Structure 1
Amino acid sequence: MRLQMVSDFDTDGTGPLFLMFHGYGNDESEMVRIIDAVYAGTGEKPDYLSFRGTYARPYMGGHYWYPDGCGVDERQRECAAVGEALTQLLNAPTFEHRRKVLIGFSQGGYLSYRLAKAHPYLFDAAILLSPSFQGEIGAQLPDSHTRFFLAYGSLDSTIPFQDQINARTVLESGRDFVHHKYPGMGHAICDEEIADIRAFLTAHK
């Protein structure tokens, strides 16, 4: 698998390197808009690799990481394939010294969770924004130094409420975890969420 992406990073940078994964039907620019909002007004520039979903959505445009409505085994298989390609990329000397932060929305949030679970000592943090979480009932995180940020809107009807509860239950088993629920927000991103992501990152510089 060859991952397609857009990137903006300083090879001599010392800050976090963001590895970003968009939601179903979108593309790599979705996450760039989000991380640019997080850093707006700070005087700092984020370093990132923002990846395009593995599959193009026919007729409708956009991309996705796994087919909508597919089974748990297929979801996990697709995420593992992305993880294999990503770890090969990150083995390059350019990236080995960087703190690596996963950030994903919806499908990309679930993918980020699976990457952190499969590679527990590779990523400094994982920011999971309205992640899909089907099929993870009873899952446990391995021993890991990854910090997790989880967020949902109170009116998110795209992700079943039980899956949202399960996401929190699973991630609470980790070493470091924060959870946010945004009143009145659906399956989306809000200004308060952007501020909370900024605070999460600032607290762990």
Structure 2
Amino acid sequence: MAASVDFDGDDDLLLLGFHGFGNDEHEMIRIIDALYAGTGREANYISFRGTYDRPFIGNSYWYPDGCGVAERRRECTRVGEAVVKLLRSPVYDRFRKVLIGFSQGGYLSYRMVLEHPDVFDAAVLMSPSFKGEEDAKTIEGSTWFALCYGDGDHTIPASDQRNAREVLARTGRLFHHVCPGLGHGINDEEIAALHSWLFGADRA
């Protein structure tokens, strides 16, 4: 049975968006807009831009492509600490915080929950990289997770995808969705599945 969040009818969500390698903050704004389409609600969100700009071809990333596990974790820690510090402002007290990230941003979101288990109510991980997490610690706290991959995604190795599902499933708070025919990307089916999970239209 799929785990489901209890956000239906609430307008107190704050979505925190983290884009993938080589994109920018507008990637997550488009995704958030799509998730909210047809709800009659206005999304509250902050969409962040990667900490490193790519020279010559533009846009940003959170950690260097191909870097080692230690460096990747270190960069995620730096971002996570800055985000949590930002969220300590009283202006955000009324919100339930939902991380949402694609690829690098999905992995970053996972690491933020792991290191700050009492801050985030949910985390939407879309095609997250997961290399080096074979020894992943137990995830403390009460954060709900949504994990999505396409069954044609060859950018993230199948072993890493399986490991991500196993690690998150151990929490007992995982919604897992596989999109047929989708590569390393996002499509309407995935958006519809996440929309139902977030807003309660089709809970399992």
Query: Do residues 118 (structure 1) and 115 (structure 2) align?
Result: yes
Moved over 4 A (4+): none
**Once the two structures are superposed, what CA deviation does each residue of 1:69-94 show, in whole Å capped at 9, x if it has no partner?**
00000000000000111111000000
CA drift of 1:14 comes to 4.5
Q: Give the structure 2 partner of residue 106 of structure 1.
A: 103
2:168 pairs with one of 168, 171, 188:
171
CA drift of 1:143 comes to 2.3
Q: Give the structure 1 partner of residue 185 of structure 2.
A: 188
**Once the two structures are superposed, what CA deviation does each residue of 1:97-154 show, in whole Å capped at 9, x if it has no partner?**
2100000000000000000111111100000000000000031333211000000001
Query: Do residues 147 (structure 1) and 144 (structure 2) align?
Result: yes
CA drift of 1:38 comes to 0.8
| Structure 1 alignment gaps of length 5 or more | 1-12
Distance of 1:175 and 1:166 partners within structure 2? 15
1:27 pairs with one of 14, 17, 24:
24
What TM-score comes out, normalization by structure 2 length? Answer: 0.91
Query: Do residues 135 (structure 1) and 132 (structure 2) align?
Result: yes
Q: Which has the higher contact order (CA 8 A, sep 6+)?
A: 2
What TM-score comes out, normalization by structure 1 length? Answer: 0.91
Distance of 1:132 and 1:114 partners within structure 2? 11
- Would you say the 8 A contact 2:148–2:176 is kept in 1? yes
Distance of 1:180 and 1:140 partners within structure 2? 23
3-state SS, counterpart of residue 159 of structure 2 = helix
Distance of 2:108 and 2:87 partners within structure 1? 17
| Structure 2 alignment gaps of length 5 or more | 1-9
Aligned residue identity for 1:153 = G
